[in-house]
A and B are shown apart, each in its own frame.
Chain A
Amino acid sequence: MRRHPALSLLILALALAAGVLPLAAQDKPRSGGELVFVVPSEPPSYDAHQEETFGLIHPLAPHYNTLLRVDPTDKTGTKPVGDLAESWTISKDQLTYTFKIRKGVKFHDGSEMTSKDIKASYDKILKPPAGVKSLRKEAYEAIASIEAPDPTTFVVKLKYPESSMLVNLASPWNFIYKADILAKDPHYYETHIMGTGPFKFVEHVKGSHWIGKKNPDYWDKGKPYLDGYRAIFISSSAAQVAAVRGERAMIQFRSFSPPERDQLVQALGNKITVQESPWDCLNFVSMHHDKKPFNDKRVRRALSLALDRYEGSKALSKITLVKDVAGIQVPGTPFATPPAELEKLAGYGHDIAKNRAEAKRLLKEAGVPDGFAFTFKNRGIPHPYEPLGVWLIDQWRQIGLNVKMEMIEASAYHPMLKRGDFEVAMDFQCGFIVEPDLDLPRFLSTSDANYGRHKDTVIDDLMHQQGRATDIEERKKILRQIEKRLLDEEAHVIYTLQWHRIVPHLSKVKGWTITPSHYLNNQLDTVWLSE
């Protein structure tokens, strides 16, 4: 019997409705509940402008807004959207960015937020008052001036066009603070919270937890969906896994290691969902340029030449969260180093015997005796720091170096790097968007994050050139020159392996999307619980 087309359509429509509607209802955000998540590190201070650890971003980001943010639904984490800025325009000469600021946004104390607060916050980032640190001011060198001509307009004027400016203004570190408070005490935000974000601050018990509760006056009506959140500080990775496995915590936003992921999947089955992504993070070794023999570039090059990165990649990716061998940009991104180019750099060639012979020759030439001993300081976070540290020490042993590792508690690690209290230390670079202008300013001679304290005007000049280059091929060419100097000729730092991000979470956690950065998507305004 031939069925009438209209009847077929009706059946199809009914079937779709039956199948899709419950799914749609299920995916509709539900209000209520408390999100409990694990944070493996604690905030050294509460001021995001001067810190660079996820230990600050994860518990504190829900209290704040930024001018722009990265689209929380974009898996590539590269698309800027408005946060406190409702919209924006860019002048034809690409030198003036004009932002329309949202009305009706209130700080948690009930006062109105205006463009004056945004200007004061950016003033603190760009030109911090004496005694106040700003870790990212070098990333905004293109900015000539900032203005707040009226309460709903914020204008950024540039000295020269910079294609990375918009994503740079979406930095999750650039919390908007209250102008009046900053005028009275520029150090206030190091120890206090006062933002406009979706959650209000309740309490911080050091070593235990951080609690936030829903901001009922949040400007984005209907959000946040959660009643509140509780960040629990657990440094032991086994305890973190146990917390998720026992469903006492729902997610850990940084990453778990491959074996930890497998354990959770095996234990929780369909109660757990795993999101994975390439990770815009990398560990590199900083060598103090004022301390002998690391002031000698031959020694620094030897340390890089000793590393068998390709073998290390294969082995370490099975036990920890590193994977790709990379240059100064994440593999697969527009400015990444082609493999053929990469192999020409010191320590990136496949002939490891030849590399190590060269390393030994360099050490001998530099007068470093066989069995020379030094201490390698490493951050007290198991993954990937400890396995990478064990690997590095083994690699250096193979060129006759006798290295002792000292693990330093995570919250004391940044202060140690800042003091320069090391000979050789594990350093780290994590960006919120893969972009040379954001990833590389720490290698400028003047950067506060240049912990190895190298002075290299050639790199400084090249950095400026690449930032102004409008032609992508020209920019790539300059970036290769920077890379050659940074990792090979001068070997100011030693890159190890690119990270790989793995976030298993309870399936009831909805509205959160993984990106290549663990600094993104932590405002929690879009997150909800299905149960």
Chain B
Amino acid sequence: MAISPPIDQVAALPAQDSWFTAARRFCLGRPLGAIGAAVIVVMFVVAVLAPLISPYDPVVNDFAGMLAAPSRAHWLGTDAFGRDVLSRLIYGSRTALLVGFGASVLGATLGAVLGVASAYFGGRVDLYLQRLMDIFLSFPLIILALALVAILGNSIPNLILAIMIPMIPRAALVIRSSALAIREMPYVDAARAAGFRHGRIIMRHMLPNVMAPYLIMLTAFLGQAVLLESSLSFLGLGVQEPIPAWGLMLRGAAVEFAETAPWMAIFPGLAISLSVFAFNLFGDSLRDALDPRLRTQ
């Protein structure tokens, strides 16, 4: 027999906020996070509308206009092949977001599943999974990503994979600690006692309750992934010419002509900094908003 709460108590529960109200409260309460979110939204819009808003084709060489300073024709100047820097930045946002979101969503999700499974099963499963995670954690993020790209090759799917793998143990570690507390909750015991399968308990009762740390990890990873993709491309191990990518725009001629054509390095550098800054601002604010301990302070 199901037990219902008394009717007077149900009426006293606070009404669920709409998305709009929640977003408004977030923007008003955490303006820096809102600025970060706005920049991310702009990046998305720019990436999606790239073919419509880009003034030039980002891969077409125009030797007549090589190394041109910013002007009306080319707002951010041109590079050593006469390619429009603004157009390459616009298309480069697609690469940054594709690799950034691909790697961080996959990394955080796989990490969450492994972290929750590790906490739920405990015992040997937890021991072996955590030691495996410790091995991966012993490598710095960039070193592991570099090694993986060197092994896998440097296509975009491989780049996503190489950035994603080092993120899994980091997500698993954080989410396991949250899941350990949830595992001891009476409703998990009740689900077990009711004879539900492990998969159902993990997916229905535990994973939804680690959403807050998951989202926080995800936003933190986004900035790191964009930075890693740019670093690998700058080192020649990521995206390859002539595909537009911010890190790639910083290497080669941008370095050689740094003194005579500084716009080649300044604008992609700013784009990387701004996007990472935006992801970090948004991630920090989201963490503050979702963490009940901080919320009550």
- 24 pairs from A and B in contact (CB 8 Å cutoff): A237-B255, A238-B255, A257-B256, A259-B253, A259-B260, A260-B256, A263-B259, A311-B63, A314-B63, A315-B63, A315-B66, A319-B66, A387-B80, A387-B81, A387-B252, A387-B253, A390-B242, A394-B242, A397-B59, A397-B60, A404-B240, A405-B241, A405-B242, A409-B150
Q: Mark B8-52, 1 if CB is under 8 A from A, else 0.
A: 000000000000000000000000000000000000000000000
Q: Is B236 a contact of A407 with CB atoms below 8 Å? A: yes
**Additional A-B contacts beyond A319-B80, A394-B242, A406-B240 (5; CB < 8 A):** A311-B63, A315-B82, A406-B153, A407-B240, A409-B150
CA distance A311 to B81 in the complex (A): 12
Assign chain B's interface to a size class. Answer: 20 to 34
CA distance A382 to B80 in the complex (A): 14
The answer to the question of B61 belonging to the interface, with a C-beta cut-off of 8 Å to chain A, is yes
Q: Is B236 a contact of A259 with CB atoms below 8 Å? A: no
Closest to B254 in A: A238
Give the B-binding residues of A (Cβ under 8 A).
237-238, 241, 257, 259-260, 263, 266, 311-312, 314-315, 318-319, 380, 382, 386-387, 389-391, 393-394, 397, 404-407, 409
The answer to the question of B56 belonging to the interface, with a C-beta cut-off of 8 Å to chain A, is no
Shortest beta-carbon distance, B189 to chain A, in Å? 55
Q: Mark B55-77, 1 if CB is under 8 A from A, else 0.
A: 00001110100100000000000
A interface majority secondary structure: helix
The answer to the question of B154 belonging to the interface, with a C-beta cut-off of 8 Å to chain A, is yes
Q: Is B259 a contact of A391 with CB atoms below 8 Å? A: no
Shortest beta-carbon distance, A522 to chain B, in Å? 26
Shortest beta-carbon distance, B251 to chain A, in Å? 8
Shortest beta-carbon distance, B75 to chain A, in Å? 22
Chain A residues with CB under 8 Å of B136's CB are: none
CA distance A238 to B82 in the complex (A): 21
Chain B residues with CB under 8 Å of A260's CB are: 256
Chain A residues with CB under 8 Å of B267's CB are: none
Give the A-binding residues of B (Cβ under 8 A).
59-61, 63, 66, 80-82, 150, 153-154, 236, 240-242, 251-253, 255-257, 259-260
Chain A residues with CB under 8 Å of B252's CB are: 237, 382, 386-387
CA distance A227 to B8 in the complex (A): 95
CA distance A467 to B89 in the complex (A): 54
The CB with the most chain B CB atoms within 10 A, among A312, A390, A391, A405, is that of: A390
Chain A residues with CB under 8 Å of B154's CB are: 406-407
Shortest beta-carbon distance, B269 to chain A, in Å? 15
Q: Is B63 a contact of A259 with CB atoms below 8 Å? A: no
CA distance A312 to B81 in the complex (A): 10
CA distance A455 to B291 in the complex (A): 71
Q: Is A259 a contact of B256 with CB atoms below 8 Å? A: yes
Chain A residues with CB under 8 Å of B82's CB are: 315
Chain A residues with CB under 8 Å of B153's CB are: 406
CA distance A389 to B259 in the complex (A): 25
Q: Is B241 a contact of A394 with CB atoms below 8 Å? A: no
Known: A380-B236, A406-B154, A406-B240. A318 touches B66 (CB 8 A): yes
